[in-house]
């Protein structure tokens, strides 16, 4: 291909030809990278010479009267059908369709006619901002707990936190004044490869992780005589006790126990009469889930079948070739022969959805202003259900990550295949809409991981390093509009994880669209190295002390995360380790100075950070500091209430550290009855409910 033709085609495809790196240097994308990324795309890139006279989708905000351009040589007729069925008609004028200004928010259909030919365009009308709960619009400052669900302990779970534990977490948080419980991504993983446990590398973002089912709460499990005999046996009880007592989640053993028990429950369900309410509810669930649920259940059933037949794998890319496409003859034959197995996995999704819905309804009964807050992963695994069932949308010859920067000089490759923005547009954003609906269901807030993906993603050609990638544009204005529309329809507010390098182009767009920012205490420092005062925190934001990818408070203060990194050989040299230690000493000193300035710690506490060890007083002071922030939301981790040191995840590691496995040290019920935790949460609640300004500091009691 002629180099100039390639450059023009790459730009139409959304490949950004250059960018400014973390060192302020201008980087030009090579034509070889452009060629490889173009090859990875699905070929739906607009050719200006062959484009339809109307785009596949047109997005406007309510009240706008922006004309829709058309490229017909002569005037044509158009018909606009609203979602309600109301119709509008007219003729194109000056190569444009002037849409009615009073169109309601929603998804409408425009049809353009010219002689015997006609073309369709999805017209999406969206409100200007995302939904915000009444409490936030009234100026309330809310707080809640942010948990990794699998880390929770209780007397009744089976070695992994479950939806029963989530109910306990909701009750405890609400009892102490909390407005929400935030969760790690609870997307579907791999029941037949449970060791692949990262919640940020799911099989599907539309369905749930069935290991979170509270098996003991299922009526079908309790009514099954075979299930109760199995459960009451000494061997089962010993195994469950061991799993419960383990400091880490043993995913393979948990999955073995739960799938055995759930099989008994499903067998019992199959004995129900056709007219029983549960039977009808399950049929409605299958109908509502449609093709996506059928694909998820088929994928999980086929994965288990192949594993039992001697083909264990982390996903479909290692399956026999005849099963690697969801629409293959071999898969259709499998569906006919294993229909009951597919229904079993549909049943598991139904039970997971029922229990999660019950948790959300519990939060509503307890008058929590937000209730549950979910986390949407930035992508899906290359071997999961979504890529298996939708080969056109996902570009499997590329993956997303990050370019080299000061923290990662080699860049990052997350091994998540990107969605083709050209296919998204051609489908009128239907995959994005369906994903949002699935994740906004049964919750009051949705956190979007790496929210910059709405604007651009760093694509890396397969078998290349992150250095050889390029940014690819996404239709940010349209996606934000869809986000706002679905947010209002589901009454679900939006939080955007905007840590790291945030392009200027998106910051203002996110704020204007009502997307709440994400502010982490450990990163909130001024150019001079001082920690940002609480009254200068952004109001349209959620503040946190730390995150699942960072050290706990104890780990940070005692530098245990750095020592752990050295043990795991994460740092390339001793010099880098010493540099990090020096940075940490400066950060601790600046943070302690901020705590003293805001009277969050007693005046008698030393002002020299090297002389201050982590203690209940220091822990309480750090919580006081962020509780005073101007941010509308505050998310706290139970690990920090319990003064835990080990992180849940160490970025840059795979097998060196038990990522996504470490549990909390106390049972949920014990934690909320602990006098120290109760005192801490009572003070956080008081500070969030009082309008404290810099001039109204309160002394430490």
Kindly report, residue by residue over 498-522, the tens digit of the pLDDT: 987 778 888 899 999 999 999 999 9
Instruction: Using alpha carbons, select from 98, 89, 47, 44 the residue that is nearest to residue 70.
Output: 98
Which element (helix H / strand E) includes 21? none
User: What residue spans of 191-310 are helical by DSSP H?
Assistant: 219-223, 225-232, 234-245, 251-269, 277-308
Helices (H) and strands (E) in the chain, counts: 23, 23
pLDDT, position 128: 96
pLDDT, position 672: 98
Which element (helix H / strand E) includes 459? strand 456-461
- Classify domain 517-701 at the CATH superfamily level: Glycosidases (3.20.20.80)
pLDDT surpasses 70 at 438: yes
β-strands 106-114, 96-97 pairing: unpaired
- Give residues with Cβ within 8 angstroms of 177, minimum separation 6: 143, 681, 682, 685, 688, 689
Residue 235 CB neighbours (<10 A): 8
pLDDT, position 527: 86
Over range 608-629, report the average pLDDT: 98
Q: Dig out the tokens for 19 from the structure.
A: 């960018």
Over range 36-47, report the average pLDDT: 77
> Are 39 and 45 a contacting pair, CB within 8 Å?
no
pLDDT surpasses 70 at 378: yes
Predicted confidence band of residue 653 (pLDDT cuts 50, 70, 90): confident
pLDDT tens-digit profile of 153-212?
Answer: 999 999 999 999 999 999 999 999 999 999 999 999 999 999 999 999 999 999 999 999
User: What residue spans of 601-674 are helical by DSSP H?
Assistant: 616-627, 638-641, 668-673
- Give residues with Cβ within 8 angstroms of 399, minimum separation 6: 382, 413, 414, 415, 416, 417, 418, 459, 460, 462
pLDDT, position 691: 55
Residue 245 CB neighbours (<10 A): 10
Predicted confidence band of residue 49 (pLDDT cuts 50, 70, 90): low
Starting at the earlier edge strand, list the strands of the sheet with 106-114: 57-61, 117-126, 106-114, 77-81, 87-91
> Are 505 and 455 a contacting pair, CB within 8 Å?
yes
Lowest mean pLDDT among 402-416, 584-598, 684-698: 684-698
- For residues 405 and 415, give the distance between their C-alpha atoms in angstroms, rounded to a whole number: 18
Query: What share of the chain in percent tops pLDDT 70?
Result: 97
pLDDT tens-digit profile of 262-285?
Answer: 999 999 999 999 999 999 999 999
pLDDT surpasses 80 at 407: no
* Domain extent listing, the chain: 517-701
Q: Return the bridge partners of 495, or none.
A: 447, 516
Over range 636-664, report the average pLDDT: 95
Taking each helix axis as running N to C, give the angle between helix 251-269 and helix 225-232, from 0 to 180 degrees, rounded to the nearest 10. 150
Over range 6-11, report the average pLDDT: 93
pLDDT tens-digit profile of 443-473?
Answer: 999 999 999 999 999 999 999 999 999 999 9
Over range 522-532, report the average pLDDT: 93
pLDDT surpasses 50 at 693: no
β-strands 106-114, 117-126 pairing: antiparallel
pLDDT tens-digit profile of 84-102?
Answer: 999 999 999 988 999 888 8
Over range 636-640, report the average pLDDT: 98
Render 154-165 in DSSP notation, one character per residue: -SSSSSS--HHH
How open is the CA angle 73-77-82, to the nearest 5 degrees? 130
Q: Dig out the tokens for 672 from the structure.
A: 């909320």
pLDDT surpasses 80 at 149: yes
pLDDT surpasses 60 at 661: yes
pLDDT surpasses 80 at 662: yes
Which element (helix H / strand E) includes 144? strand 142-147
Residue 439 CB neighbours (<10 A): 24
What integer best gives the mean pLDDT of the chain? 94
pLDDT surpasses 90 at 331: yes
Q: CA end-to-end span of the chain, whole Å?
A: 73
Q: Render the burial of 61-79: b for 16+ CB within 10 Å, e for the rest.
A: bbeeeeebebeeeeebebe
Over range 588-612, report the average pLDDT: 98
pLDDT, position 214: 98
pLDDT surpasses 50 at 694: no
Predicted confidence band of residue 52 (pLDDT cuts 50, 70, 90): confident
pLDDT tens-digit profile of 206-257?
Answer: 999 999 999 999 999 999 999 999 999 999 999 999 999 999 999 999 999 9
């Amino acid at each position: 291909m002629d180099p100039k033709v390639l450059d023009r085609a790459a730009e139409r495809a959304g490949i950004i030809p250059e960018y400014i790196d973390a060192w302020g240097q201008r980087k030009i994308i090579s034509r070889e990278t452009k060629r490889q990324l173009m090859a990875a795309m699905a070929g739906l890139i607009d050719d200006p010479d062959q484009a339809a006279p109307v785009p596949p989708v047109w997005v406007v905000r309510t009240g706008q009267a922006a004309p829709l351009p058309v490229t017909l040589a002569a005037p044509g007729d158009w018909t606009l059908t609203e979602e309600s069925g109301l119709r509008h008609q007219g003729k194109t004028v000056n190569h444009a369709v002037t849409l009615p200004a009073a169109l309601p928010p929603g998804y409408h259909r425009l049809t353009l006619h010219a002689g015997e030919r006609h073309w369709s365009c999805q017209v999406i009308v969206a409100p200007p901002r995302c939904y915000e709960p009444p409490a936030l619009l009234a100026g309330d400052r809310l707080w809640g707990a942010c948990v990794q669900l699998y880390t929770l302990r209780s007397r009744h779970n089976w070695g992994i936190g479950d939806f029963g534990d989530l109910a306990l977490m909701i009750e405890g948080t609400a009892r102490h004044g909390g407005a929400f419980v935030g969760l790690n991504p609870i997307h579907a993983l791999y029941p037949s490869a449970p060791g692949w446990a990262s919640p940020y590398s799911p099989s599907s973002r539309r369905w749930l992780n069935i290991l979170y089912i509270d098996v003991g709460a299922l009526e079908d499990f309790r009514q099954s005589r075979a299930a109760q005999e199995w459960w009451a046996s000494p061997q089962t009880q010993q195994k469950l006790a061991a799993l419960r007592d383990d400091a880490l989640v043993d995913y393979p053993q948990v999955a073995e126990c739960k799938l055995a028990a759930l099989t008994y429950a499903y067998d019992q369900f199959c004995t129900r009469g056709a007219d029983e309410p549960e039977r009808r509810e399950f049929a409605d669930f299958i109908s509502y889930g449609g093709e996506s649920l059928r694909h998820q259940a088929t994928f999980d059933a086929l994965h288990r079948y192949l594993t039992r037949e001697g083909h264990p794998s982390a996903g479909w890319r290692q399956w026999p070739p005849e099963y690697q496409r969801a629409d293959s003859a071999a898969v259709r034959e499998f569906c006919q022969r294993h229909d009951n197995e597919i229904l079993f996995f549909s049943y598991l999704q139904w039970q997971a959805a029922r229990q999660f819905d019950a948790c959300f309804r519990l939060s509503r009964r307890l008058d929590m202003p937000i209730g549950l807050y979910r986390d949407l992963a930035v992508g899906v695994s290359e071997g999961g259900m979504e890529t298996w069932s939708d080969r056109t949308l996902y570009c499997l010859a590329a993956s997303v990550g990050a370019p080299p920067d000061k923290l990662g000089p080699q860049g990052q490759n997350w091994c998540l295949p990107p969605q083709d923005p050209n296919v998204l547009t051609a489908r009128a954003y239907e995959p994005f809409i369906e994903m949002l609906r699935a994740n906004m269901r049964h919750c009051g807030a949705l956190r979007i991981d790496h929210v910059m993906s709405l604007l651009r993603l760093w694509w890396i050609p397969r078998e290349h390093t992150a250095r050889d990638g390029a940014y690819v544009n996404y239709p940010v204005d349209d996606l934000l509009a869809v986000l706002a529309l679905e947010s209002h329809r589901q009454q679900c507010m939006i939080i955007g994880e905007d840590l790291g390098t945030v392009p200027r182009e998106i910051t203002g767009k996110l704020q204007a669209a009502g997307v709440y920012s994400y502010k982490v205490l450990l990163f909130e420092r001024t150019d001079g190295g001082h920690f940002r005062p609480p009254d200068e925190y952004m109001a349209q934001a959620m503040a946190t002390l730390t995150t699942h990818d960072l050290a706990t408070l104890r780990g940070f203060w005692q530098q245990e995360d750095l020592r752990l990194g050295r043990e795991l050989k994460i740092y390339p040299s001793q010099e880098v380790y010493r540099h990090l230690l020096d940075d940490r000493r400066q950060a601790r000193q600046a943070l302690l100075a901020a705590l003293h300035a805001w009277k969050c710690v007693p005046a008698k506490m030393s002002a020299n950070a090297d002389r201050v060890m982590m203690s209940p007083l220091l822990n309480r002071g750090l919580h006081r500091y962020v509780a005073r922030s101007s941010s509308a939301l505050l998310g706290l981790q139970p690990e920090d209430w319990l003064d835990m040191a080990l992180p849940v995840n160490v970025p840059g590691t795979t097998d060196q550290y038990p990522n996504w496995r470490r549990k909390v040290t106390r049972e949920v019920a014990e934690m909320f009855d602990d006098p120290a935790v109760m005192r801490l949460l009572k003070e956080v609640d008081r500070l969030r409910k009082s309008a404290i300004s810099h001039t109204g500091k309160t002394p430490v009691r």
